């Protein structure tokens, strides 16, 4: 699986001919999106509700969110969804979709890095993480 096989996009962006399988990775179905705009819905790859709520409410930073999201991918249900996602990626391009406006602070970028075994998907030690407070309104 290469970086060209897995791409990310906001669900509200128009579909493109080269999107391949469009995989929604949100726990809740996004408003205004028709079912035919998505190939498959793998909601277990979205952040667990308590984690997402803590992040959106600024109770945890992005640096705290990242290792907790990645740890959530080890759950049995998430691993089953990852198997499905990898199978689809073997057949062609997969586009990971969610509603987050900020690509840099979104689980879709973390999931892509995880699937590509990128260093970005390896949790850093809490002491090594720089202090950072994200701007209000960013979504995970």
Mean pLDDT value of segment 11-30: 96
The answer for 102, left when phi > 0, alpha when psi is -120 to 50, beta otherwise, is beta
Q: Which of 23-27, 94-98, 109-113, 128-132 is the least confident region?
A: 128-132
Binning pLDDT at 50, 70 and 90, where does residue 50 land?
very high
Residue 18 clears pLDDT 80, i.e. is over it:
yes
Please state the pTM of the whole predicted model.
0.81
Strands (E), 1-122: 6-10, 21-24, 40-41, 94-98
pLDDT in tens, 68-92: 999 999 999 999 999 999 999 999 9
User: How confident is residue 2, by pLDDT bands cut at 50, 70 and 90?
Assistant: low
> Looking at residue 56, what is its pLDDT?
92
**Token reading at 114:** 């995880």
Strands 40-41 and 6-10, how do they pair?
unpaired
pLDDT given at position 140: 47
Mean pLDDT value of segment 104-126:
76
CA distance 129 to 126: 5
Which of 1, 20, 24 has the alpha carbon at shortest distance from 11?
24
């Amino acid at each position: 699986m290469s970086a060209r096989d897995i791409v990310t996009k906001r669900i509200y962006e128009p579909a493109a001919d080269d999107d391949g399988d469009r995989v929604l990775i949100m726990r809740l179905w996004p408003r205004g999106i028709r079912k035919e705009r998505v190939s498959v819905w793998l909601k277990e790859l979205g952040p667990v509700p308590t984690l997402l709520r803590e992040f959106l409410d600024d109770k945890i930073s992005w640096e705290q969110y990242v290792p907790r999201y990645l740890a959530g991918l080890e759950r049995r249900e998430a691993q089953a969804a990852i198997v499905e996602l990898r199978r689809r990626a073997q057949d062609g391009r997969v586009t990971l979709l969610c509603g987050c406006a900020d690509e840099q602070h979104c689980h879709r970028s973390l999931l892509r890095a995880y699937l590509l075994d990128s260093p970005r998907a390896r949790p850093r030690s809490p002491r090594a993480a720089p202090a950072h407070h994200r701007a209000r309104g960013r979504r995970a």
